């Protein structure tokens, strides 16, 4: 017997409400695994009116008896992970016995943050709008093969040498290229060494743990961060994050057999949002945009920045469905559309059938494509908290059916409010 394995990814630009969906599905799994990103992510969970924001620790942690793992594809800030553990412990959630951190996680340390901030400043009006957490520079170090990894912390001399090499590089760039303050080696070494001791009992071989869980028949949930359109290769480059956010990353980012991934659930908001700079063809700057921002409380959970809001972009999601192979979708925040007279959906872009589109998708030139919309009638009734499809107004049901057709994927779940119970389940993606 082996367990069933599901990957949950954002199918837009992040902030689709993955945390709630992961939390809901966790009741049917033995483990939840993060496989990419770092503490740039922000997963907001509301359980019995209590709000918890997680950045690094898998959303499954709030369920007893569920193992939580952080795979090698995640860039790990030792201070961020310990802060988050302390916050959870203060709420009575036991973490240390249930979490495994891969020794192959590249570390995010203070010099990465300094480089991230200096680089954004230097880009001026061309800045990416990063979360300022040092994520990009940490991934750069990994690819440049100068990264310091979690496992290095337990090899005394090796750690000192690797840290010195990496910091020499960063401090040179900070001082000579960015004209910014450098970061002190000894302080970084001492602080990180101190944190290393506290982290050590949690370090383990994530790939083997996953393999064993699977062999014992446990279901495993792979929890994506950010969204498919922020993928480093396939997103709106260079306005992207520095990791692979597509479902394929679940395997290489955790050391788990890709042929054993059974289902990919893509999370989409009923409209679109984006934080930071970059193309967003369906962005709204009018009263409807404000309606979405206000009613959807669209502020970043990591940085508090206001999110840009716009209509649902079915053309973009359809591309994601094709590229990452979404088995089904969960649509979130449907209730935010309540009360709108007309709802627009971008179904394709002007000229997108032509050759010119191929160089624009997956790049910053994507913004040059003009969306073509179809209008659907809105609904005045409240959908907030609906738990059955037949409780939704007819126009809301029609909206869902049309989106399924446009993006070419079935909608398996609909979220109608922040609480885990405010959900309509159309397909049991994990079974019982
Ligand atoms: P970085 O990941 O901090 O380098 O930021 C790169 C881009 O990804 C910026 O546009 C960020 O706003 C965006 N980003 C990073 N993490 C998230 C997230 O969890 N939700 C939404 N956008 C994110």
DSSP assigned state of 389: G
pTM of this structure: 0.95
pLDDT digits (tens, 9 = 90+) for 158-215: 999 999 999 999 999 999 999 999 999 999 999 999 999 999 999 999 999 999 999 9
Establish whether 15 is a catalytic residue: yes
Identified catalytic residue from 39, 43, 55, 170: 43
Compute the distance between CA of residue 244 and CA of residue 413 in angstroms, rounded to an integer.
25
* Domain spans of the chain, in order of start: 5-103+202-260, 110-199, 268-425
Closest CA to 41 of 307, 302, 316: 302
Closest CA to 202 of 107, 40, 82, 88: 82
Which residues of the chain register pLDDT less than 50? 355, 432
Measuring from atom 15 of ligand 1, which residue has the nearest CA?
40
CB neighbours of 263 closer than 8 A, spacing ≥ 6? 4, 5, 6, 7, 327, 328, 429, 430
Position 298 scores a pLDDT of 94
DSSP assigned state of 126: G
**From the CA of 37, how far away is ligand 1's center (Å)?**
9
Reduce the secondary structure of 237-284 to three states and give it as a string.
CCCCCCCCCCCCHHHHCCCCCHHHCCEEEEEEECCEEECCCCCCCCEC
Find how far residue 170's CA is from the centre of its chain: 27
CATH 3.90.170.10 fits 268-425, yes or no: yes
Compute the distance between CA of residue 430 and CA of residue 416 in angstroms, rounded to an integer.
20
Given a contact cutoff of 8 angstroms between Cβ atoms, the answer to whether 71 and 203 are in contact is no
DSSP assigned state of 414: E
What the block records as the tokens of 340 is 């709108």
Measuring from atom 21 of ligand 1, which residue has the nearest CA?
14
Position 267 scores a pLDDT of 98
Compute the distance between CA of residue 137 and CA of residue 111 in angstroms, rounded to an integer.
9
Q: Which residues line ligand 1 (CB under 6 A)?
A: 14-15, 40-42, 128-131, 133, 135-136, 225-226, 230, 241-242, 275-276
C-alpha distance from residue 312 to each of 269, 276, 365 (Å): 8, 18, 19
Position 352 scores a pLDDT of 59
Count CB-CB contacts under 10 A for residue 148: 25
Closest CA to 71 of 232, 262, 224, 198: 224
Position 413 scores a pLDDT of 96
Q: Which atom of ligand 1 is nearest to the CA of 131?
A: 3
| Sign of CA pseudo-dihedral 175, 242, 10, 255 | negative
Ligand 1 pocket, mutate which of 230, 231, 296, 306 (most atoms under 8 A from CB): 230
Query: Burial of 185 by CB count in 10 Å (0-12 exposed, 13-18 middle, 19+ buried)?
Result: middle
Half-sphere exposure of 365 (CA within 13 A, CB side): 7
CATH topology of domain 110-199: Adenylosuccinate Synthetase, subunit A; domain 2 (1.10.300)
pLDDT digits (tens, 9 = 90+) for 299-340: 887 788 899 999 999 999 999 999 999 999 999 999 999 999
Given a contact cutoff of 8 angstroms between Cβ atoms, the answer to whether 35 and 249 are in contact is yes
Position 261 scores a pLDDT of 95
Closest CA to 211 of 103, 75, 325, 67: 67
Given a contact cutoff of 8 angstroms between Cβ atoms, the answer to whether 170 and 114 are in contact is yes
CATH topology of domain 5-103+202-260: Adenylosuccinate Synthetase; Chain A, domain 1 (3.40.440)
Position 305 scores a pLDDT of 85
Given a contact cutoff of 8 angstroms between Cβ atoms, the answer to whether 387 and 422 are in contact is yes
CB neighbours of 277 closer than 8 A, spacing ≥ 6? 127, 128, 129, 239
Provide the 3-class DSSP secondary structure of residue 324: helix
What the block records as the tokens of 138 is 């940490």
């Amino acid at each position: 017997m082996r367990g069933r394995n599901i990957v949950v990814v954002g199918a837009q630009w992040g902030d689709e409400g993955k945390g709630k969906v992961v939390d809901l599905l966790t009741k049917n799994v033995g483990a939840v695994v993060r496989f990419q990103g770092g503490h740039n992510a922000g997963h907001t969970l509301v359980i019995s009116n209590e709000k918890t924001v997680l950045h690094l620790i898998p959303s499954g942690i709030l369920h007893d008896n569920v193992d939580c793992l952080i795979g090698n594809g995640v860039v790990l800030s030792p201070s961020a992970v310990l802060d988050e553990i302390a916050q959870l412990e203060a709420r009575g959630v036991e973490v240390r016995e249930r979490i495994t951190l891969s020794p192959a996680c590249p570390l995010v340390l203070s010099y990465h943050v300094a480089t991230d901030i200096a680089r954004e400043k230097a880009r001026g009006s061309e800045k990416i709008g990063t979360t300022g957490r040092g994520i990009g520079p940490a991934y750069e170090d990994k690819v440049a093969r100068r990264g310091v990894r979690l496992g290095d912390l337990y090899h005394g001399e090796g750690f000192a040498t690797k840290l010195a090499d990496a910091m020499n590089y960063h401090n040179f760039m900070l001082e000579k290229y960015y004209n910014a303050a450098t970061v002190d080696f000894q302080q970084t070494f001492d602080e990180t060494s101190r944190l290393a001791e506290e982290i050590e009992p949690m370090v383990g071989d994530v790939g083997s743990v996953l393999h064993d869980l699977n062999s014992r028949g446990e279901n495993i949930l792979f929890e994506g961060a950010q969204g498919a359109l922020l993928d480093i290769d396939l997103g709106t480059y260079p306005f992207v994050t520095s990791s692979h956010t597509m479902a394929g990353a679940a395997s290489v980012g955790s050391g788990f057999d890709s042929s054993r991934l059974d289902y990919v659930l893509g999370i989409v908001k009923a409209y679109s949002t984006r934080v930071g700079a970059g193309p967003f063809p369906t962005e709204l700057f009018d009263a409807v945009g404000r309606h979405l921002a206000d009613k959807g409380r669209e502020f970043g959970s990591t940085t508090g920045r206001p999110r840009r809001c716009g209509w649902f972009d079915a053309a973009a999601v359809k591309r994601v469905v094709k590229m990452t192979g979404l088995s089904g979708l969960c649509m979130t925040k449907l209730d935010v559309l309540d009360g709108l007279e007309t709802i627009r959906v971008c179904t394709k872009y002007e000229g997108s059938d032509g050759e010119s589109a191929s160089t624009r998708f997956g790049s910053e030139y994507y913004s040059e494509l003009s969306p073509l919309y179809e209008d659907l009638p809105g609904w005045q009734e409240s959908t907030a908290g609906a738990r059955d499809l037949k409780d939704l107004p007819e126009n809301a049901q029609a909206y869902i059916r049309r989106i399924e057709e446009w993006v070419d994927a079935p909608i398996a779940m609909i979220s109608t409010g922040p609480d885990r119970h405010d959900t309509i389940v159309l397909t049991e993606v994990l079974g019982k």
